[in-house]
Amino acid sequence: QLAATLQHPAIVPLLAAGEADGVLYYSMPFVDGDTLRARLERSGALPIDEVVRLGREVASALAYAHRQGLVHRD
């Protein structure tokens, strides 16, 4: 329930969660595009300015989630 309240540009929203036949699930919007892994495999190392930008976006999203009382454990 807490994850569903998060609203941040770098956090994909949680649309629904539940249980079906004993299996927990959640659904989120589909985000079209490459994964970071695929991009690195295709293009190699990213330019430092892009690494810094991505790192800032991730840090901003994590800080926001932490302020909301949610700790991301991946």
> For the chain (length 74 residues), average pLDDT per consecutive 10?
87 92 94 94 96 96 93 78
49 is catalytic: no
- Report the pLDDT value the prediction gives residue 72, as an integer from 0 to 100: 80
Q: Of 23, 27, 24, 35, nearest to 3 (Cα)?
A: 27
Q: Of these residues, 21, 32, 49, 74, which one is catalytic?
A: 74
Query: Which are the contacts of 8, defined by CB distance < 8 A and separation ≥ 6?
Result: 60, 61, 64, 65
pTM, whole model, 2 decimals?
Answer: 0.76
Whether 29 and 13 have beta carbons less than 8 Å apart is answered as: yes
DSSP 45: S
- Report the pLDDT value the prediction gives residue 61, as an integer from 0 to 100: 94
- Report the pLDDT value the prediction gives residue 2, as an integer from 0 to 100: 78
- Report the pLDDT value the prediction gives residue 71, as an integer from 0 to 100: 86
Query: Which are the contacts of 31, defined by CB distance < 8 A and separation ≥ 6?
Result: 12
